[in-house]
Chains A and B, each alone.
Chain A
Amino acid sequence: MTLKKKETLWLSGNEAIALGAWEAGVQVASGYPGTPSTEIMENLSTYPDVYTEWAPNEKVGLEVAIGASFAGVRALATMKHVGMNVAADPLFTASYTGGRGGLVVLTADDPEMHSSQNEQDNRNYAFAAKLPMLEPSDPAEAKEMLLRAFEMSEEFDTPVLFRITTRIAHVKGVVEKHERVATAAPSIEKMPGKFVMLPALARVRRAEIEKRMIALREHAEIFEVNRVEDGELSRGFITSGTSYNYIKEAFPDAAVIKLGMVWPLPERKIRDFAEKVDELIIVEELDPFLETHIKAMGISCRGKDLIPSQGELNSFIVRKSIDPDSVGPLFEPLELPMRPPNMCAGCPHRGLFYCLSRMKDVFVSGDIGCYTLGFLPPLSAMDSCVCMGASVTIAHGMAKALGKEGEGKVVAVLGDSTFIHSGITGLVNSVYNDSYATVIIADNRTTAMTGHQPNPASGCNIKGEAAHAINFEELCRAVGIKRITVVNPHDIEATRKVLKEEIATTETSVVISQAPCVLLPEEVRRKKPVYFTNTENCTGCTACIRLGCPAISWNPITPEEAARRGYKEKQKGYSMINEVQCNGCGQCAVLCKFDAITLKEGS
């Protein structure tokens, strides 16, 4: 064996997983962007000899990966935790079919909901779909474990779930680079007993799953990712994922079982460990998943009676939960104005939501994307947000419940990528079942919130190569919408007029609010006009302030200063535009009736 100096890199978990997928010989990968999973597919798309794509949603992405597995190559599907709900339909039956090439389904969970609408624990999917699940603790382990996942998938003829969380995905650490394994040659092979899941055949496969689970349980006992670390036996811990890191810092001398495979569990290994330690504590983020299944083995342990089941953990929380007296006092946080995220200066969504914010009796059924920030003050123009695509269908359901009472009062708003993800079927329903709820597609030409991934309406693919761009007007017309209006949301007057008319109509109508995201590279490069404030004209009416633009600030003044500046005595302040931040959208200039906001000369 030749010893070569190993090349080490410093990578995020997602970069490490992309490298791991390439090293594992993945040939097809598909996914839908979603924090904290997005950078896996983005990075993998830069490697040679692997086909990558952005799918319109996670169900499509997983089915593409299943197809590639059926053709005999290793395939990867990536998604955020809530994406697995969308992909659950193919997932549960792929458990029956298995595949040919290794198939790994990656879920990136978001404890603490840094960028998500819920914090579901997707380990429960492993139990429900009868699939093995691996869970690494850091970027280096994530990369190595992904190769094990593909090997396991092929050895046991099963899709393998691979769970990461934000503190794996967006943590950078030292990672070793290796060679790529030899890749399989794709082929067509007809295997109806495995691939055609109609009842008679599915019943046969159902029995195979039980055999597979027994084999996997045995494998868990000897699988090296399930590791017993010797230590003090007065208190033993069972843990997995990033929680392992917190145990190592809070209780470095304790005996630990670190589970890399969180389903199925190595019962004998756990039982032996439980017998050796005086007290057994299960430390895991979110649900008592390990705890519940360990207790079901008849093993007594502690867990969620100590450790919080909501939000992220860290070494402090773990230490404090178990030994409350061991942590000293901390500085108390100061009371400070919050700094929530905000739409960018020049964001086209702002114009749209400003208009909606003026329609106080209209219920705005919202959706998932940057535009969800339209909920925040001062716009405060979103009244519901549940899941991808739900804006259209919730608006329709409300319309049917409200009947005539709700006419002119219900509107749905969703982005271009979200519309393609799962809004189209809702729109088909609205037309078919005669809804009066207006649907607004906030089309900024990209999947902005997750970092500008192209989508089927953007005109390019994941590699930036030209691709067909869906024409929303034609699509809506084909679905059966007769009233379709395209409006530029920066033009507030026109937008307000269109919204008024379309929301009032009792026919299903679509408004396409169309202007590119200001952060798109071509928009960043474009030389934009800059607006500035003629403060002497400002009357302090706050019309521009109500836009909530980060480039506009309010400067309070005393009556004396008002007098000195030549303002009316009761004027309480004036507006200022930060010209460095201004992206020149002009929305504020439209709203100012006093010529206090004008274009800067020469811009």
Chain B
Amino acid sequence: MKQSGNILFSGVGGQGILLASELTAYAQLAAGFDVKKSEVHGMAQRGGSVVAHLKYGEKVYSPLIEPGTADIQVAFEELEAARYLPYLHKDSAVVVNTQKILPPAVATGKASYPENILDELRNRGINVVALDAFAVAGEIGELRTANVVMVGAMSNFLSVTPQIFLDVIDRKVKEQFREVNKKAFQAGRDLVNA
């Protein structure tokens, strides 16, 4: 059982990274770890590339993941899975939502969206788990739970038990959304064999 670790969350402002990283952090706290999380607000949030650093262990000092030491990356968009490559190492696992959100230069036809971007990661030995979180969330009946589907998939790589995550959802999510979020977590969890 791993006693410390680093999880990087990346995506585009507004994709629900905050909730995903909060649920993960609360699960690690409930499992008895010290947890620090770092994020950036303000101008950086307006539809730009966003990243949150989560570190857990017996005692965590730095709130920032050191480049080359992210054990897990949860990426909500393909380009944003590849952008933080220097943070990864060859044994990292990247759980990525197969969504493409066009950056401004691509949307305006000034650049093209790179093809087969996830192969760039696979070619370096990184374990890439690609899933269509929106499709899964759609089957559950609530598109907004895509971020929790991602957390469920990622949880396979952690020692924290699924029950702890489900308890966190009970504590932290509003009552009317609890059941659907638990379903989303379980669906994500069942997608991956880590």
Is B truly associated with A?
A: yes
Chain B residues with CB below 8 A from A249, complex form: 61-62, 66
Within the assembled complex, what's the spacing in Å between the Cα atoms of A556 and B105?
13
Instruction: Give A contacts to B, CB under 8 Å.
Output: 10, 35-36, 38-39, 114-115, 138, 166-167, 170-174, 242, 244-246, 248-249, 312, 314-316, 327-328, 330-334, 336-344, 370, 372-373, 376-378, 449-451, 542, 545-546, 548, 550, 552-554, 556, 572-573
Minimum Cβ distance to chain B for residue A550 (Å): 6
Tally A-B pairs: CB < 8 A. Answer: 177
Within the assembled complex, what's the spacing in Å between the Cα atoms of A340 and B108?
14
> Contact between A451 and B103 (Cβ–Cβ < 8 Å)?
no
Q: Is B120 an interface residue (CB 8 A)?
A: yes
Option from A338, A341, A343 in Cβ contact (under 8 Å) with B44: A341
Q: Beyond the given A114-B42, A314-B62, A316-B66, could you list 7 further A-B residue pairs with CB under 8 A, ordered by the A residue number? A: A337-B113, A338-B49, A341-B43, A373-B43, A378-B104, A550-B107, A554-B107
Total interface residues in chain B, CB < 8 Å? 53
**Can you list, as one digit per residue, whether each of B147-189 has a CB less than 8 Å from chain A (1) or not (0)?**
0000000000000000000000000000000000000000000
Minimum Cβ distance to chain B for residue A342 (Å): 4
* Beta-carbon nearest neighbor of B114 in chain A: A336
Within the assembled complex, what's the spacing in Å between the Cα atoms of A172 and B49?
20
A-B pairs with beta carbons under 8 Å apart, 24 shown = A10-B26, A10-B29, A138-B36, A170-B41, A171-B36, A173-B60, A173-B63, A245-B62, A331-B86, A331-B88, A333-B86, A334-B85, A337-B79, A337-B105, A339-B104, A342-B48, A344-B47, A370-B46, A449-B46, A451-B41, A545-B109, A548-B108, A553-B102, A554-B109
Chain A residues with CB below 8 A from B71, complex form: none
Most buried by B among A166, A572, A573: A166
Option from A10, A336, A450 in Cβ contact (under 8 Å) with B35: A10
Decide: A174 near B34, CB < 8 A? Known: A138-B63, A330-B67, A334-B82: yes
Chain A residues with CB below 8 A from B104, complex form: 339-340, 342, 376-378, 548, 550
* Beta-carbon nearest neighbor of B79 in chain A: A336
**Can you list, as one digit per residue, whether each of B97-123 has a CB less than 8 Å from chain A (1) or not (0)?**
000001111111111111001001000
Within the assembled complex, what's the spacing in Å between the Cα atoms of A315 and B63?
10
**Can you list, as one digit per residue, whether each of B1-21 has a CB less than 8 Å from chain A (1) or not (0)?**
000000000001100000000
Option from B12, B38, B40, B110 in Cβ contact (under 8 Å) with A339: B12
Most buried by A among B25, B80, B107: B107
Chain B residues with CB below 8 A from A342, complex form: 46-48, 104
Within the assembled complex, what's the spacing in Å between the Cα atoms of A166 and B38?
9
Within the assembled complex, what's the spacing in Å between the Cα atoms of A552 and B107?
7
> Contact between A242 and B63 (Cβ–Cβ < 8 Å)?
yes
Chain A residues with CB below 8 A from B102, complex form: 553
Chain A residues with CB below 8 A from B42, complex form: 35-36, 114-115, 449-451
Decide: A10 near B43, CB < 8 A? Known: A172-B37, A314-B66: no
Minimum Cβ distance to chain B for residue A177 (Å): 15
Option from A167, A340, A572 in Cβ contact (under 8 Å) with B63: A167
Chain B residues with CB below 8 A from A10, complex form: 25-26, 29, 35
Chain A residues with CB below 8 A from B83, complex form: 333-334, 336, 339
